[in-house]
Amino acid sequence: MDLYKTLAGRAAEDGAFISLTGGGGKTTLMIKLASYLRNAGKRVLITTTTRLMSPRFHNYMTDRFFCDDSVLSYVPEGPCSVLYAIEAEDRKNKVCCPPIENLNLLRSRYDVIINEADGSKRLPLKVHTQRDPVIPPFSTYTISVMGLWGIGKRTADVAFGEGRDLVVDENYLQWYLEDSEGLLKGSLPGHRAIVFNGAEDFENTSILKNLKYPDDVFVCTASEQKGELYEQIQ
């Protein structure tokens, strides 16, 4: 099953503002979902409310990049994928959050906006603080990502923001789902999904099926790199 077709069908109605949280594949999901939507004829803007690698060092597969208010003068006339983020003064290899009010203004100009709302230092799990994730109030859908390669490992090695050294087992994952600073922090009830990424190298999904999820969450295992949805768990 096509992962991005499924996510687009659930989350990307015209005017959608999708915020991505968690760890283990957010940037890949953002790039590939934006590419799918562009090829489907949509005007797509990708952005961040945290930080991203500068497009000078990472290929976001976009048609244009705006790093200032000139984005407000650009009117897309057909299918496109545009990146909008501000160059970080303290780190030349990063771009960061543009003014939130600009993102709100741009919602009427693009069919879909996809926002990376969290940072995880490329680790598969993210335990949050009071500062994150940064989900704008006009978001319409949240997708929380976790890398399956973190299961069975110690949190000290695979969980950004976790101060304890524990094993990522079934008990830990249930805590991670339920805790106020866990995977679903900031997700929008009734309009949210969990993508367990890395399913191409993960065979035993029983640990995921044994977990208790909120009834309104779409849950699947997938390979974001391959664009494949392996199993819908809920």
Is there a contact between 193 and 6 (Cβ–Cβ < 8 Å)?
no
Residue range 124-128: average pLDDT?
97
Contact 148, 222 (CB under 8 A): no
- Judged against a pLDDT cut of 90, whether residue 33 lies above it is answered with yes
Categorize the per-residue pLDDT at 13 as very low, low, confident or very high, splitting at 50, 70 and 90: confident
Average pLDDT of the residues of the chain: 95
Residues 148 and 124: their CA atoms lie apart, in Å, by 7
What is the residue type of 180?
S
Q: What is the pLDDT of residue 89?
A: 78
Q: How many CB atoms lie within 10 A of CB 13?
A: 12
Range of the domain at 48: 3-232
User: How many domains, the chain?
Assistant: 1
Q: What is the pLDDT of residues 98-124, one digit of tens each?
A: 999 999 999 999 999 999 999 888 999
Q: Is the pLDDT assigned to residue 228 strictly greater than 80?
A: yes
* Of residues 84, 29, 15, the one with CA closest to residue 195: 29
Which pLDDT tens digit goes with each residue over 158-178? 999 999 999 999 999 999 999
Which CATH number is 213's domain given?
3.40.50
Confidence of residue 203 (pLDDT cuts 50, 70, 90): confident
Mean pLDDT value of segment 189-218:
96
